[in-house]
């Protein structure tokens, strides 16, 4: 399939709430997921949501093994998550630096729940339900925000903790967008 262009912050489609997927195991859904996989891999992303390539459906993919954008991140199993729902398991939150393919070259300190349960479906309509923490929980929240029309800067508490990689982290993140 194809590597798709990523919409950049400012494109109004990124702020729309996506529609739920109603038909599973279709050629169109499988093609969308394959395009998303190729796009995420080409850009060394940890995840990608359909709205980032201009498709207003509740489809997110994520997974991290060894990734130059996140060299110290724990592994996250590759997952296709459709029509996601997130439930915090407690109120404990932590702030960590995040980046986004739709906001290239920038990072922000974003508060996220440390522990959560996520639910949704795989491409065949099979239920997915996992309880996770750490980086896995952060990636899921980031991608699920995309299907709700939320970009990570909208969650930053203090805008002094948002900026360009080369200013915030001089000499680091050389592999960044």
pLDDT higher than 70, residue 173? no
78-126 residue pLDDT tens: 999 999 999 999 999 999 999 999 999 999 999 999 999 999 999 999 9
Q: DSSP code of 21?
A: P
Angle value at C-alpha 147, between 141 and 151, nearest 5 degrees: 65
Query: What three-state secondary structure class fits 5?
Result: coil
Catalytic residue check, 96: no
Q: In what order do the strands lie in the sheet with 127-133?
A: 47-49, 59-64, 76-88, 115-121, 127-133
pLDDT higher than 80, residue 72? no
Rg (CA), the chain: 15
* Domain range annotation of the chain: 12-168
- 12-168: CATH homologous superfamily? Peptide deformylase (3.90.45.10)
Angle value at C-alpha 13, between 59 and 159, nearest 5 degrees: 95
In this prediction the pTM is 0.93
- Per-residue confidence (pLDDT) for residue 174, from 0 to 100: 46
What whole-number distance in Å separates Cα of residue 55 and Cα of residue 48? 11
B/e letters for 88-118, b = 16+ CB within 10 Å, e = fewer, are: eeeeeeeeebbbbbbbeebbbbbebbbebeb
Encoded tokens for 27: 């050629």
Please identify which of the residues 16, 75, 129, 143 carries the catalytic annotation: 143
Query: What three-state secondary structure class fits 86?
Result: strand
């Amino acid at each position: 399939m194809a590597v798709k262009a990523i919409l950049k912050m400012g494109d109004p489609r990124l702020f729309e709430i996506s529609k739920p997927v109603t038909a599973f195991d279709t050629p169109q859904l499988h093609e969308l997921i394959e395009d998303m996989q190729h796009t995420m891999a080409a850009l060394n992303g940890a995840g990608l949501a359909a709205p980032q390539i201009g498709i207003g459906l509740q489809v997110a993919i994520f997974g991290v093994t060894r990734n130059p954008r996140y060299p110290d991140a724990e592994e996250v199993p590759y997952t296709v998550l459709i029509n996601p729902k997130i439930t915090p398991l407690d109120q404990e939150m932590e702030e960590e630096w995040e980046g986004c393919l739709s906001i290239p070259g920038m990072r922000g300190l974003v508060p996220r729940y440390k522990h959560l349960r996520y639910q949704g479906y795989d491409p065949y309509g099979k239920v997915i339900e996992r309880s996770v923490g750490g980086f896995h929980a952060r990636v899921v929240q980031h991608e699920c925000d995309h299907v709700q029309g939320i970009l990570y800067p909208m969650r930053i508490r203090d805008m002094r903790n948002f900026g360009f990689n080369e200013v915030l982290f001089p000499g680091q993140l050389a592999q960044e967008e």
